[in-house]
Amino acid sequence: MCALSAAWRCACVLALAAAARAALSGLYIDNGIDQTIIHHSMTKHERLVVEHEILDLLGLGSRPRRARAPPARSAAPSFLLDVYKQLAEEPEQARPTRSSELALSGDEQQAIDQSDLIMTFQSKKHHLGALRHGHGRHVWFEVAGAPGDASALLTAELRLHQASTAAENPGELYTVVVHRVISVDSKGGLQLERVVATNTSAGAEGWLELNVTGALGAWLTAPADNRGFFVTVHPHSQPERNVKPEEVGLEERRGVAAEGKQPFVVAFFKGGPRLGAADPGPRRKREARRWRSQGYSDNFLRNPLNDTAHWTTRSCEIQTLYVSFKDLEWQDWIIAPDGYGAFYCSGECNFPLNAHKNATNHAIVQTLVHLLNPSQVPKPSCAPIKLSPISVLYYTDDSNVILRKYKNMVVKSCGCH
For residues 118 and 83, is the Cβ–Cβ distance under 8 A?
yes
pLDDT digits (tens, 9 = 90+) for 319-373: 888 888 877 778 788 888 988 888 899 888 888 876 667 888 888 888 888 888 8
**Which of 119-123, 146-150, 154-158, 325-329 is most confident?**
154-158
CA pair distance 414, 380, nearest whole angstrom: 12
The pairing of beta strand 344-346 with beta strand 137-141: unpaired
What's the domain count of the chain?
2
Mean pLDDT of all residues in 130-137: 68
Task: Please tell me whether residues 237 and 302 are part of one structural domain.
Answer: no
Q: Please say which residue of 251, 269, 287 terminates a domain.
A: 269
Residue 16: the pLDDT is: 42
Establish if 318 belongs to a structural domain: yes
Instruction: Answer yes or no: do 384 and 292 share one domain.
Output: yes
Are residues 139 and 233 located together in one domain of the fold?
A: yes
Do 132 and 265 fall within a single domain?
yes
Domain-ending residue, one of 243, 269, 295:
269
Where are the extended beta strands (E) located within 117-189? Answer: 117-124, 137-141, 153-162, 173-184
Q: What is the pLDDT of residue 30?
A: 57
Judge whether 78 lies within some domain: no
Q: Give which of 319, 292, 232, 275 is closest to 32, Cα–Cα.
A: 319
- What CATH number is given to the structural domain containing 142? 2.60.120.970
Identify whether residues 262 and 318 lie together within a single domain.
no
Same domain? 155 vs 173? yes
Assess if residue 48 is contained within a domain: yes
Q: Do 297 and 369 belong together in one domain?
A: yes
- Asked whether residue 49 carries a pLDDT value surpassing 90, the answer given is no
Q: Looking at the structure, do residues 29 and 151 belong to the same domain, yes or no? A: no
Parent domain of 391: 11-61+276-416
- Please say which residue of 208, 240, 269 terminates a domain: 269
Share of the chain above pLDDT 90, in %: 21
The answer on 310 and 263 residing in a single domain is no
Domain check: are 368 and 243 in the same one?
A: no
Q: How far apart are CA 318 and CA 316, in angstroms?
A: 7
Judge if 365 and 221 occupy the same domain: no
Residue 261 lies in a domain: yes
